[in-house]
Amino acid sequence: MSRIASVLLPMPLPEAFDYAEPEGMGLEAGDQVAVPLGPRLIRGVVTELRDAMGGNRPLKPVAERLDDPRLPPGTVEFVQWAARYAVDAPGQPLAIALRGARAPKPRPVRVVVATGTSPARPTPAREKVIEAALQPMAAADLARAAGVSAGVVKALLDEGVLAVREILPEARFDPPDLSRPGPQLSASQAAAAEALKDLVADGFGVALLDGVTGSGKTEVYLEAAAAALAADPDAQVLILLPEIALTQAVIARVAARFGAQPGEWHSDVAPPGRRRVWEAVAAGTCRIVVGARSALFLPFRKLRLIVVDEEHDGSFKQEDGFIYHARDLAVVRGRIEGAAVILASATPSLETLRNAEAGRYRWLRLSARHGTARLPDIELIDLRETPPEAGRWLSPPLVKAMAETWARGEQSLLFLNRRGYAPLVLCKACGERMTAPDTDSWLVEHRYTGRLVCHLTGFSMPKPAACPHCGAKDSLVSIGPGVERVEEEARALFPEARIAVFSSDTVFDAREARRLVETMAAGEIDILVATQAAAKGHNFPKLTLVGVVDADLGLRGGDLRAAERTYQLLAQATGRAGRKDRPGRALLQTYAPEHAVMQALKAQDRDAFVAAEMAERELAGLPPFGRLAAVVASGPDAAQLDAFVQGMAQAAPNTPGVEVYGPADAPLGLVRGRRRKRFLVRADRSVDLSAYMAAWRARVRPPGQIRVAIDIDPYSFL
Ligand code: ADP
């Protein structure tokens, strides 16, 4: 009997489409196929095969089974689960899962091989080259390996003793060397490592590895990884990190621990490299992957452990396109694959702490730094009492501390989570604030490039000489500091010091991030001015002073997680100070030293802060005690959008335990010419919020120009 194949396509379609399986094609679920869609052939994945019952309307046939790896059942199930949870089309997460499969194959490389012909005139140098050529490599590498000049290789090529061949770079990864010993663990580290090994042995289960900065969490979870890899020759391990700079540091540590490069997966890996990792993961030959959130969608064959390092980090939430939180989905993928999940952090999210408190996750704590290192002393600088001079941003106590640190030959880090030179440019003649066209967001001044940039939409323009509004000349003034401005001030104060800026404007790619981290770790920078890109996870042995330029920044305009996020970010940033045997200091500049977040940071009393924050959330039924979902409806026409959201409000299903707030103007009311309106939905934990949102969505028909985006468990309220 002929069969019908359900084929999921990597595009925003509501469901899989049915195609007829041509006679003898022998499809299996997970196969990648090409199918006709309108006039085109599209790559898709077979999710299901069933016998065709007679009498159906004729289906178009599958055009071809592609000669590409099959998606394992766990990957397909995960994609479908994620789509249902996010109330989105399954083709959206499938597109992420196929990103590596659709990338171009690596190009062939030219290597030199020995042909077997003997040289007419053998010399020791020539013999060496022929021996080295047993291992195919590029001509220049061969000359280097044999310790001869390029001329020797060229002469042998001319003579036909060597020949050039084009070969495809191998998709293989070196296997991890599991006989290498890890570091000698301290008693508390060893206890945590043992508990994690038990977790790994038990299949699915989640542990919170909760340890202060520098306590050795990475060393401990690498032991769990070693155990998972040793228990099964096919086992695979995934380590997720929130920043490219951190992936670089962890890749180096994995390579040192296991003597083999792990697969690297993030936006900066070139397409052929992605294809190589994707295929090796599907084949099971890449056994360790270190990557950013989308690595969670790779086609693992036998995933046995997922580590989410810095699990509290907001960068795990993907906000555009397919909206998901990689930490939450890691737990889902773990359950589907029967894999252990380790969530590691010095400042865990309230969601994770709640799960640990309730006994759903195992909770392992490391309360001291490794070895003789101590946590830094944290002091608050009250800017009302000791303000910086006019037009400056560093207060006298901070400048004094920097001078002392510099005199001792140690390093300072100035932390300010703001890119560019100044967050606002206004006209002192007419008061106009410079904003991006058709967007409610200030233009940020960047001095390195001399441009005003919208960080939301990417729009940029040269800084004008006159106010575009009133025409006044030289009237535009820069308000407030960004990292570039703090750098300018630091240079004026310490003209001899080696100063660098670490932000996404100065560090564009993984290589540059690695270079800057290495330079800092080697002590070749005296003052590093950094956004959060450098404030997390790194070990800088000579860094003894962290100055937080504006500790109140994250508390302004606060959303539900403002206090939690500020606490986490500042605890991470201050946690960079004082590694090895040098004690560290952290100074926080604030106008609100009495604020609960500042007091908790100063007292280093995370538990008290968390308890107070939890109590507030519980009272309000907010996460982790309740669930939230957001809806953003947007469209170019204000009246049409108004009418639509009014109708949408009326269509909201009436369900006990669910409250719908809105519609309201979004704080970012206008982006790229589109007006935006928001709803916020709060639900009790017992409610299936995804099902509720799907039911609501099904009741409304947005007109063509209106888009409706649903965000389950929102982190952005703009
Ligand atoms: P965390 O991930 O908790 O911030 P790390 O694992 O990065 O901590 O450890 C901090 C520093 O201490 C690193 O340089 C690490 O190599 C070192 N370290 C931690 N534990 C040990 C150990 N048992 N033996 C040797 N060095 C260790």
Query: Which tens digits make up the pLDDT trace of 310-328?
Result: 999 999 999 989 999 999 9
Q: Strand, helix or coil at 633?
A: strand
| 376: preceding bond cis by omega (within 30 degrees) | no
Alpha carbon of 492 to ligand 1 centroid (Å): 36
Alpha carbon of 345 to ligand 1 centroid (Å): 14
- The answer, yes or no, to whether residue 107 has pLDDT greater than 80, is no
Could you report the per-residue pLDDT of 400-428, keeping only the tens digit for each?
Answer: 999 999 999 999 999 999 999 999 999 99
For atom 17 of ligand 1, the residue with the nearest CA is: 216
580 band by pLDDT with thresholds 50, 70 and 90: low
Sheet holding 377-382, edge to edge: 377-382, 585-590, 543-548, 411-415, 527-530, 499-502
1 band by pLDDT with thresholds 50, 70 and 90: low
Ligand 1 atom with least separation from CA of 579? 11
- Give the separation between CA 318 and CA 322, rounded to whole angstroms: 7
Ligand 1 atom with least separation from CA of 211? 3
- The answer, yes or no, to whether residue 106 has pLDDT greater than 80, is no
For atom 10 of ligand 1, the residue with the nearest CA is: 214
- List the one residue out of 15, 1, 187, 174 whose CA is nearest residue 84: 15
The beta-strand segments (E) located in 212-366 are 236-240, 263-265, 288-291, 303-309, 317-318, 324-325, 340-345, 362-366
- Give the separation between CA 317 and CA 713, rounded to whole angstroms: 10
537 band by pLDDT with thresholds 50, 70 and 90: low
Alpha carbon of 419 to ligand 1 centroid (Å): 30
Alpha carbon of 213 to ligand 1 centroid (Å): 9
- Give the separation between CA 424 and CA 441, rounded to whole angstroms: 10
- Give the separation between CA 57 and CA 18, rounded to whole angstroms: 11
Ligand 1 atom with least separation from CA of 373? 12
Q: Which of the listed residues 188, 209, 217, 218 should we mutate to test ligand 1's pocket, taking the one with most ligand atoms within 8 A of CB?
A: 218
Ligand 1 atom with least separation from CA of 309? 2
Query: Would you say 347 and 312 are in contact if contact means Cβ atoms under 8 Å apart?
Result: yes
- Looking from the CA of 391 toward its CB, the CA atoms found within 13 Å total 4
Q: Alpha-carbon Rg of the chain, whole angstroms?
A: 29
Run of H or E including 167 = strand 162-167
Q: Which of 371-375, 398-402, 649-653, 707-711 has the lowest mean pLDDT?
A: 371-375
pTM value?
0.87
pLDDT at 508: 74
For residue 451, what are the β-bridge partners?
446, 462
For residue 548, what are the β-bridge partners?
415, 588
- List the one residue out of 235, 223, 154 whose CA is nearest residue 185: 223
- The answer, yes or no, to whether residue 368 has pLDDT greater than 90, is no
- Give the separation between CA 351 and CA 202, rounded to whole angstroms: 23
For atom 23 of ligand 1, the residue with the nearest CA is: 185
Alpha carbon of 219 to ligand 1 centroid (Å): 6
- The burial class, CB within 10 Å (0-12 / 13-18 / 19+), for 614 is middle
Ligand 1 atom with least separation from CA of 219? 6
558 band by pLDDT with thresholds 50, 70 and 90: low
Ligand 1 atom with least separation from CA of 220? 6
The CA-atom distances, in angstroms, between 513 and each of 213, 410, 520, 524 are: 21, 21, 11, 15
- Give the separation between CA 134 and CA 112, rounded to whole angstroms: 9
For atom 24 of ligand 1, the residue with the nearest CA is: 183
For atom 19 of ligand 1, the residue with the nearest CA is: 216
Sheet holding 64-65, edge to edge: 17-20, 3-8, 40-51, 32-37, 64-65
pLDDT at 243: 84
Ligand 1 pocket (Cβ < 6 Å) reads 183-186, 189, 211, 213-219, 370, 539
User: Tokens for 231?
Assistant: 């228990």
User: Tokens for 393?
Assistant: 């941003």
| 663: preceding bond cis by omega (within 30 degrees) | yes
- Give the separation between CA 40 and CA 21, rounded to whole angstroms: 18
- Give the separation between CA 648 and CA 587, rounded to whole angstroms: 49
Ligand 1 atom with least separation from CA of 186? 23
- Give the separation between CA 446 and CA 460, rounded to whole angstroms: 10
- Give the separation between CA 221 and CA 208, rounded to whole angstroms: 11
Mean pLDDT along residues 556-564: 84
Alpha carbon of 189 to ligand 1 centroid (Å): 10
Ligand 1 atom with least separation from CA of 213? 4
Q: Which of the listed residues 194, 209, 213, 219 should we mutate to test ligand 1's pocket, taking the one with most ligand atoms within 8 A of CB?
A: 219
For atom 5 of ligand 1, the residue with the nearest CA is: 216
- The answer, yes or no, to whether residue 718 has pLDDT greater than 80, is yes
* Sequence-ordered list of residues with C-beta below 8 angstroms from that of 679, at least 6 positions apart, any chain: 630, 631, 633, 645, 648, 649, 652, 660, 661, 662, 663, 664
Alpha carbon of 318 to ligand 1 centroid (Å): 30
Alpha carbon of 600 to ligand 1 centroid (Å): 25
pLDDT at 213: 85
pLDDT at 320: 87
Ligand 1 atom with least separation from CA of 575? 4
User: Tokens for 336?
Assistant: 């589907």
Alpha carbon of 309 to ligand 1 centroid (Å): 14
- Looking from the CA of 99 toward its CB, the CA atoms found within 13 Å total 18
Alpha carbon of 370 to ligand 1 centroid (Å): 6
486 band by pLDDT with thresholds 50, 70 and 90: very high
pLDDT at 56: 66
- List the one residue out of 351, 347, 303 whose CA is nearest residue 327: 351
- The answer, yes or no, to whether residue 121 has pLDDT greater than 90, is no
Ligand 1 atom with least separation from CA of 189? 23
Ligand 1 atom with least separation from CA of 183? 24
Alpha carbon of 374 to ligand 1 centroid (Å): 13
- List the one residue out of 249, 289, 716, 126 whose CA is nearest residue 521: 249
Mean pLDDT along residues 34-59: 89
User: Tokens for 324?
Assistant: 């998901």
- List the one residue out of 534, 525, 536 whose CA is nearest residue 565: 536
Ligand 1 atom with least separation from CA of 212? 3
Interior/surface letters 684-718, b for 16+ CB within 10 angstroms, e for the rest: eeebebbebbeebbeebebeeebebbbbbbbbebb
- Over pLDDT 70: what percentage of the chain? 98
Q: Pick 457 or 302 by higher pLDDT.
A: 302
Alpha carbon of 215 to ligand 1 centroid (Å): 6
Interior/surface letters 221-244, b for 16+ CB within 10 angstroms, e for the rest: bbbbbbbbbeeeeebbbbbbbbbb
- The burial class, CB within 10 Å (0-12 / 13-18 / 19+), for 192 is buried
Alpha carbon of 376 to ligand 1 centroid (Å): 16
* Sequence-ordered list of residues with C-beta below 8 angstroms from that of 519, at least 6 positions apart, any chain: 500, 525
512 band by pLDDT with thresholds 50, 70 and 90: confident
Query: Would you say 550 and 589 are in contact if contact means Cβ atoms under 8 Å apart?
Result: yes
pLDDT at 29: 95
Q: Pick 538 or 209 by higher pLDDT.
A: 209
Alpha carbon of 280 to ligand 1 centroid (Å): 30
Alpha carbon of 546 to ligand 1 centroid (Å): 20
Run of H or E including 282 = helix 271-283
Alpha carbon of 539 to ligand 1 centroid (Å): 9
Alpha carbon of 218 to ligand 1 centroid (Å): 7
Alpha carbon of 589 to ligand 1 centroid (Å): 29
The beta-strand segments (E) located in 424-498 are 424-427, 444-446, 451-453, 460-462, 476-479
For atom 4 of ligand 1, the residue with the nearest CA is: 214
- Give the separation between CA 267 and CA 96, rounded to whole angstroms: 12
Query: Would you say 274 and 286 are in contact if contact means Cβ atoms under 8 Å apart?
Result: no
Alpha carbon of 371 to ligand 1 centroid (Å): 9
Alpha carbon of 287 to ligand 1 centroid (Å): 23
Mean pLDDT along residues 47-59: 83
- Give the separation between CA 533 and CA 242, rounded to whole angstroms: 10
For atom 14 of ligand 1, the residue with the nearest CA is: 539
Pairing label, strands 543-548, 411-415: parallel
For atom 18 of ligand 1, the residue with the nearest CA is: 216
Q: CA-based angle 219:223:225, to the nearest 5?
A: 115
pLDDT at 544: 92
pLDDT at 614: 95
Question: Mean pLDDT: which of 14-18, 237-241, 616-620 is highest?
Answer: 237-241
- Give the separation between CA 44 and CA 42, rounded to whole angstroms: 6
Q: Can you give 366-397 as a three-state secondary structure string?
A: ECCCCCCCCCCEEEEEECCCCCCCCCCCCCHH
For atom 25 of ligand 1, the residue with the nearest CA is: 183
Query: Would you say 62 and 5 are in contact if contact means Cβ atoms under 8 Å apart?
Result: yes
Mean pLDDT along residues 322-347: 97
Ligand 1 atom with least separation from CA of 541? 14
Q: Which of the listed residues 241, 307, 370, 542 should we mutate to test ligand 1's pocket, taking the one with most ligand atoms within 8 A of CB?
A: 370
- The answer, yes or no, to whether residue 95 has pLDDT greater than 90, is yes
For atom 9 of ligand 1, the residue with the nearest CA is: 216
Ligand 1 atom with least separation from CA of 539? 14
